Amino acid sequence: MPKIYLVRHGRTPANEKGILAGRTKGIFLDDTGIKQAEAVAKSLSQIRFKKIIVSPMERCQQTTKIIITGMDKTPKPVIESGINECDYGDWSNKKLSSLRSKPLWKTIQEKPSLVQFPNGEKMNQMLTRVKNAIFEHALKLKSDENLLVVSHGDPIRSFIADCLGIHLDNFQRITIDPCSVSVVIISNDNVQVVSVNNSIKVDQISKKKNKRIGSVLGGGAG
């Protein structure tokens, strides 16, 4: 059965500052994010990938470029819109601290399957497109081939939740840190979650010490 390696992009200034980047253009990895991607590159260096798909966002493409540096016979990464970040609409590029005061925030925490972001996407639509895109690519591979998916926190953890049979309303119970690696095996009639949120700790470069607050929309800064 094809094995899928799901990698979240490395940390960005938006992650570090508590900003919901969404599909905002021009957001790249910070120094810590680069170190995280380099660490993942080492951990995956001996794995041969038949196909690589990556979100259209620059932070994912930058992470992918670092990961595949030094790999032998690596296929050219394919930009796949189906694994793009959730379209948070009017919430994009806003401080999470300010968004927590919005009435919609309570629904996001309790019933995300009912949520549609203002001028944005429904969370259940996000899950559907991510799942369809990953399965479409994975099921074209042979049983001993590997697929690398470089995406975002919410798309990855909603997909992992679905693979585990967990309802979307509970997907935020799963943590997906920046540059973590999760592994899933897929066939036509079977899904096996092998590992979730494997991450290599690196020295974090930060101007301030962030207090970690449970599960955060967008995935948080780790």
Compute the distance between CA of residue 107 and CA of residue 15 in angstroms, rounded to an integer: 22
Is 209 part of any domain? no
Lowest-pLDDT range of 128-142, 147-161, 206-220: 206-220
Summarised one tens digit per residue, pLDDT across range 169-197 is 999 999 999 999 999 999 777 899 999 99
Percent of the chain scoring above 70 in pLDDT = 95
Q: Is the confidence at residue 210, as pLDDT, over 90?
A: no
Phi-psi category of 198—alpha, beta or left, where left has phi over 0 and alpha has psi -120 to 50?
A: beta
Residues 52-71: b if buried by 16+ CB within 10 A, e if exposed: bbbbebbbbbbbbebbbeeb
Percent of the chain scoring above 90 in pLDDT = 85
| CATH number, position 71 | 3.40.50.1240
Total tally of structural domains belonging to the chain: 1
Q: How confident is the model at residue 207 (pLDDT cuts 50, 70, 90)?
A: low
What is the pLDDT, as a whole number, of residue 218? 86
Is 221 part of any domain? no
Is 178 part of any domain? yes
Q: How confident is the model at residue 221 (pLDDT cuts 50, 70, 90)?
A: confident
Q: What is the pTM of this model?
A: 0.94
Q: How many CB atoms lie within 10 A of CB 197?
A: 17
Q: Is the confidence at residue 220, as pLDDT, over 80?
A: no
Is 160 part of any domain? yes
Is 119 part of any domain? yes
Mean pLDDT computed over 39-58: 96
Token pair for 199:
């991450």
Token pair for 69:
């540096």
Task: Give residue 85's domain range.
Answer: 3-198
